[in-house]
Structure 1
Amino acid sequence: MAVKEGLLAVLAEGARQGYQVKTEFEAMTGGVWSLNVGQVYTTLDRLERDGLVEVTVEGDNKKYAITAPGQQELAGWWDAAPIDQAPPRDELMLKVLSAIEHGPKLALRVITKQRTALTSMLHARRQETRDLDPGDLAARLVVDALVMRAEADLRWLDTCESRITAKKAR
């Protein structure tokens, strides 16, 4: 989720003060995406400049509200396909790929250690899922995503191991 669109999503529920926007954004993301207060206000200022939010002043407080163009922007973002981005700069991938450059023995050792760490983390995440408040949908979905990513990483490590082993056997 882009921060800009995430802030618009919060404001789509009603006008908010800047700090409320920050707090609700973090709650919406299950507490795993924290924002710096300065980043929130800078983004809100850009959204105002672009006509996507409007500001009203009540005493010492500014309230931000989404505009019709802001609602259109948000709706367009929700409907758009994810952007095909460059491969992520992923630490696990870097560890394995750099180890391969130093030979299959090191690569297989790194894969084994990473698999052990991921399996342990996966077990902890699954336990976390059992301990979650059933009513906290955002937190539940975040943990689900983390579990599924760990499972995908484990499958990728299995693929790496089998390809390295097959290449070694040739």
Structure 2
Amino acid sequence: MSIRHGLLALLDQGPRYGSRLRAEFESRTGSTWPLNVGQVYTTLARLERDGLVAPGGEDASGHTLYAITDAGRAELREWYARPVDRASPPRDELSIKLAMAVGSPGVDIRAVIQAQRHATIKAMQDYTRLKVQALAAIEQGDSRERDDVAWLLVLEQLIFQTEAEARWLDHSESRLVRLSLTADRRAEPAPPQATDPDAGPDAGPASAKSRATRFPRS
């Protein structure tokens, strides 16, 4: 998540102080990624150091305002135009958990998958319920419609993400079952070869010649 560019996007709409930036960021994203004021001011300090924002005076209440610079606007436009890089995906705790669980003694990986599937489906249901609320708010057309639309987009991304995660969990469980069956088949002893019942206990498999002798053609 790019807090840096999120704050630049808000400052592009006009000067703001730290607490207002925090509130607007959380309103726009539905508090999906909550920020604390310390994060906001730390990021603002780095943006100022890089010449992307500058102090913009104070408001009537004495809050220090920050304003985006021309360099900040150029950085923001570049961010909008640049696709998100997937070459180095962020670490995913669930993927790491399953990877570590494979082959770990005493870990029932199918139980891990089932527990996660239950939590994932519940999250999907919660997001869907919130989506209904966001759509209702948009239809009412109140003054926060822009934030509601932004929140709707975030919710729909979360819904798609949890749907994909549920499908991946189903696939992972099926994969483990198939691999387990394959391993079991490999571990099964080979079936005994047929032997000549008329031979002694030490005789080997019946030969074609002996079968022909016992079962002569008419």
* SS across alignment from 1:51: coil
Give the match for residue 129 of structure 1.
131
Does 1:156 find its partner at 2:168? yes
For residue 78 of structure 1, report the CA deviation from its aligned partner.
0.8
| Alpha-carbon distance in 2 for matches of 1:73, 1:84 | 20
Where does the alignment leave 5 or more consecutive residues of structure 2 unmatched?
139-144, 183-218
Is 2:55–2:67's contact at 8 Å kept on the other side of the alignment? yes
- Judged with a 3 Å threshold, the aligned counterparts in structure 2 of structure 1 residues 42 and 114 are, in CA distance, closer, same or farther, namely closer
- The one-letter code matched in structure 2 to 1:19 is S
Corresponding residue to 2:75 among 70, 73, 76: 73
Corresponding residue to 2:115 among 96, 113, 116: 113
| Alpha-carbon distance in 2 for matches of 1:150, 1:46 | 34
Give the match for residue 21 of structure 1.
21
| Alpha-carbon distance in 2 for matches of 1:2, 1:121 | 23
Higher helix share: 1
**RMSD over aligned Cα, in angstroms?**
2.2
Aligned-pair identity (%): 41
- Judged with a 3 Å threshold, the aligned counterparts in structure 2 of structure 1 residues 17 and 116 are, in CA distance, closer, same or farther, namely closer
Give the match for residue 35 of structure 2.
35
For residue 19 of structure 1, report the CA deviation from its aligned partner.
1.6
Which range moved further: 86-95 or 134-143? 86-95
Give the match for residue 100 of structure 1.
102
1:66-91 alpha-carbon deviations (Å, 9 max, x no partner): 11110000001111121235343323
Tell me the TM-score normalised to structure 2 length.
Answer: 0.70
| Alpha-carbon distance in 2 for matches of 1:160, 1:48 | 47
Structure with greater contact order relative to length (CA < 8 Å, sep ≥ 6)? 1
Larger gyration radius, structure 1 or structure 2: 2
Which range moved further: 71-80 or 123-132? 123-132
Give the match for residue 54 of structure 2.
54
| Alpha-carbon distance in 1 for matches of 2:3, 2:31 | 14
How many residues align structurally?
170
Which range moved further: 19-28 or 2-11? 19-28
For residue 118 of structure 1, report the CA deviation from its aligned partner.
1.8
| Alpha-carbon distance in 1 for matches of 2:72, 2:176 | 50
| Alpha-carbon distance in 2 for matches of 1:164, 1:52 | 50
- The one-letter code matched in structure 1 to 2:95 is M
- The one-letter code matched in structure 1 to 2:156 is D
| Alpha-carbon distance in 1 for matches of 2:112, 2:47 | 45
| Alpha-carbon distance in 1 for matches of 2:20, 2:130 | 27
Does 1:4 find its partner at 2:16? no
Instruction: Give every structure 1 segment of 4 or more consecutive aligned residues whose post-TM-superposition deviation is greater than 6 Å.
Output: none
- Judged with a 3 Å threshold, the aligned counterparts in structure 2 of structure 1 residues 39 and 112 are, in CA distance, closer, same or farther, namely closer
- Judged with a 3 Å threshold, the aligned counterparts in structure 2 of structure 1 residues 145 and 46 are, in CA distance, closer, same or farther, namely same
- The one-letter code matched in structure 1 to 2:93 is E
Is 2:18–2:41's contact at 8 Å kept on the other side of the alignment? yes
